[in-house]
Amino acid sequence: PKQRKIKQALKNIFGLAYFAFAIEVRQEIGEIKEKCLALLQEEKFTSFKIFTKRSKKEFPLTSQQINEKIGAHIVEELDKKVDLTKPDLTCYVEIVEKYAFVYLKKIKGPGGLPVGVSGRAISLLSGGIDSPVASFYALKRGIRIIFLHFHSAPYTSEASITKVKKLAVILSKWQIRTKLYLVPFADIQKEILLKTPEKFRVVLYRRFMMRIAEQIALKEKALALVTGEAIGQVASQTIENIRAIEEAASLLILR
């Protein structure tokens, strides 16, 4: 259970290409051979290969020599065959500064860049699918995300707020700390509704959202806005409208 929890936690950390549950061994070839043998004895397989990564170049044996010595030991003790192209099993050996590590399975990580190395951005979460997807990909490229949602409560139900909170919780597993701004937008909508032609309203709503988002970005020291807009996704998302909307903000807009 503990290993399962660790595995799940590591799978949510961007920047990890892979990880493994390894056994620490002294940097002595005899011990490394015996530990590899002990691990392989517990597995069912016909063919195998040894793969050594030696970052400590002072170690007296080269990676190839380590592979050969361990491989010969396994063949002699378990009567298995070496297959360097399509083995049933690969035993990994890593020689680092003070220790050696031995393991059988590499677990694929999420890849990407560690969250925070690419700065901060404000994500305008609407409650639809596009903005959380855009937020996810921004997180994967190392951007720390601060979430922002505009709502019309109390004139409408709080369903959108509940939904956005759930989305923020889901996305928060990819970064250590998460902040969600909930901005009441009903009064601005009301003024636009009363004083502007219908065909301009959606664009004006979005322009005001961009201006408010930019002020929050300045407060949070964020350098970009994330929107998730896609041309043609909804009727209002035309090239002309998207251009008119983004002109309301001076920050970089990521979609």
Q: What is the pLDDT of residues 47-70, one digit of tens each?
A: 999 999 999 889 999 999 999 999
CB 150 within 8 A of CB 180: no
What is the reported pLDDT for 81? 96
Tell me how far apart the alpha carbons of residues 14 and 5 are, in angstroms, rounded to a whole number: 17
The predicted model scores a pTM of 0.85
CB 125 within 8 A of CB 148: yes
Whether pLDDT at 233 is above 90: no
Q: DSSP 3-state assignment of 145?
A: strand
CB 146 within 8 A of CB 167: no
Percent of the chain predicted with pLDDT > 70:
100
Whether pLDDT at 175 is above 90: yes
CA 110 from centre of chain: 5
- The mean per-residue pLDDT over the stretch 233-237 comes to 75
Percent of the chain predicted with pLDDT > 90:
84
CB 54 within 8 A of CB 68: no
> Could you tell me the domains of the chain?
22-104 (3.30.2130.30), 120-254 (3.40.50.620)
Tell me how far apart the alpha carbons of residues 255 and 144 are, in angstroms, rounded to a whole number: 15
Cα–Cα separations (whole angstroms), residue 128 to 45, 83, 144: 48, 50, 20
Whether pLDDT at 232 is above 80: no
What is the reported pLDDT for 113? 97
Whether pLDDT at 236 is above 90: no
**Residues in Cβ contact with 234 at an 8 Å cutoff, skipping those fewer than 6 apart:** none
Q: DSSP 3-state assignment of 11?
A: coil
- The mean per-residue pLDDT over the stretch 31-45 comes to 96
Tell me how far apart the alpha carbons of residues 67 and 135 are, in angstroms, rounded to a whole number: 44
Whether pLDDT at 6 is above 80: yes
Beta strands in the chain (DSSP E): 18-19, 23-25, 47-54, 81-82, 89-95, 100-103, 107-108, 120-124, 144-151, 180-184, 224-226, 252-254
CA angle 8–9–11, rounded 5-degree value? 65
pLDDT in tens, 78-133: 999 999 999 999 999 999 988 999 999 999 999 999 999 999 999 999 878 899 99
CB 25 within 8 A of CB 31: yes
- The mean per-residue pLDDT over the stretch 226-248 comes to 85
